[in-house]
Amino acid sequence: MRIGIDCRTILNPVGGERAGVGYYTYYLLKSLLALDKENTYVLFFDSRFKQVDEFKQENSEIVFFPFYQYKEYLPVAYSQMLISAVLAQKKLDLYHSPANVIPLFYSRPSVVTIHDLAIYKYPKFFPIKILNRQIFSTKVLIPRSLARAEKIIAVSKNTKTDIIEEFGIPEEKIEVIYEGVTVGERDCEEKTEFNQIKEKYGINDKYILFLGTIEPRKNIITLIKAFRNLLLAYDSPAQGCQLIIAGAEGWSNQPVFEAIADANASIVGLKKRRGGKDRRSGPDSRSEAKKKKQGERRGGKDRRLKQPIKYIGYVSEGEKTGLICEAVCFVFPSLYEGFGLPVLEAMSLGTPVITSNVSSLPEIVGEKAGILVDPNKEAEISEAIQQILTDQGMRESLSVLGRQRAKEFSWEECARRTLAVYKKSAESKKK
Across 28-37, 190-199, 228-237, 295-304, least confident range? 295-304
CB 93 within 8 A of CB 1: yes
Same-domain status, 95 and 210:
no
Q: What is the CA radius of gyration of the chain?
A: 23
CB 192 within 8 A of CB 322: yes
The amino acid that residue 389 corresponds to is L
Same-domain status, 189 and 174:
no
Backbone torsions φ then ψ of 225, nearest 5 degrees: -65, -40
Could you give the CA distance from residue 100 to residue 135 in angstroms, rounded to a whole number? 14
Has residue 261 been placed in a domain?
Answer: yes
Element (H, E) at 194: helix 194-201
Model pLDDT for residues 317-372, shown as the tens digit of each residue: 889 999 999 999 999 999 999 999 999 999 999 999 999 999 999 999 998 999 99
Same-domain status, 163 and 256:
no
CB 155 within 8 A of CB 121: no
Same-domain status, 327 and 242:
yes
pLDDT, mean of residues 66-73: 62
Same-domain status, 222 and 86:
no
Whether 383 has a pLDDT exceeding 60, the answer reads yes
- Which pLDDT band, with edges at 50, 70 and 90, does 48 fall under? confident
For the chain, give the longest Cα–Cα distance. 78
Has residue 431 been placed in a domain?
Answer: no
Same-domain status, 165 and 211:
no
Helix axes 378-390, 220-232, angle to 10 degrees: 60
Residue 81's pLDDT is: 83
Same-domain status, 307 and 392:
yes
Strand-pairing partners, residue 207, are 242
Containing structural domain, residue 284:
185-406
Whether 293 has a pLDDT exceeding 90, the answer reads no
Model pLDDT for residues 204-219, shown as the tens digit of each residue: 999 999 999 999 999 9
The CATH number that applies at residue 145 is 3.40.50.2000
Same-domain status, 361 and 278:
yes
Across 1-5, 73-77, 96-100, 165-169, least confident range? 73-77
- Which pLDDT band, with edges at 50, 70 and 90, does 431 fall under? low
- Strands 60-64 and 94-97, sheet pairing: unpaired
Model pLDDT for residues 49-61, shown as the tens digit of each residue: 778 899 999 999 9
Same-domain status, 156 and 204:
no
Same-domain status, 396 and 311:
yes
For residues 322 and 275, which has the higher predicted lDDT (pLDDT)? 322
HSE-up (13 A, CA, CB side) for residue 419? 21
Q: 309, 358, 341: which is closest to 202 by C-alpha?
A: 309
Same-domain status, 285 and 201:
yes
Has residue 282 been placed in a domain?
Answer: yes
Has residue 290 been placed in a domain?
Answer: yes
Question: Which residues are CB-contacts of 374 (< 8 A; sequence separation ≥ 6)?
Answer: 356, 357, 380
Has residue 54 been placed in a domain?
Answer: yes
Could you give the CA distance from residue 122 to residue 336 in angstroms, rounded to a whole number? 8
Same-domain status, 310 and 166:
no
Domain count, the chain: 2
Q: For 115-190, where are the alpha helices, taking DSSP H only?
A: 118-121, 128-133, 135-136, 142-148, 157-167, 185-189
Residue 297's pLDDT is: 38
Could you give the CA distance from residue 64 to residue 62 in angstroms, rounded to a whole number? 7
Has residue 42 been placed in a domain?
Answer: yes
- Which pLDDT band, with edges at 50, 70 and 90, does 186 fall under? confident
Q: What is the average pLDDT score of the chain?
A: 88
Across 127-136, 185-194, 295-304, least confident range? 295-304
Model pLDDT for residues 384-402, shown as the tens digit of each residue: 999 999 999 999 999 999 9
Residue 61, SS3 per DSSP: strand
Across 109-113, 305-309, 342-346, least confident range? 305-309
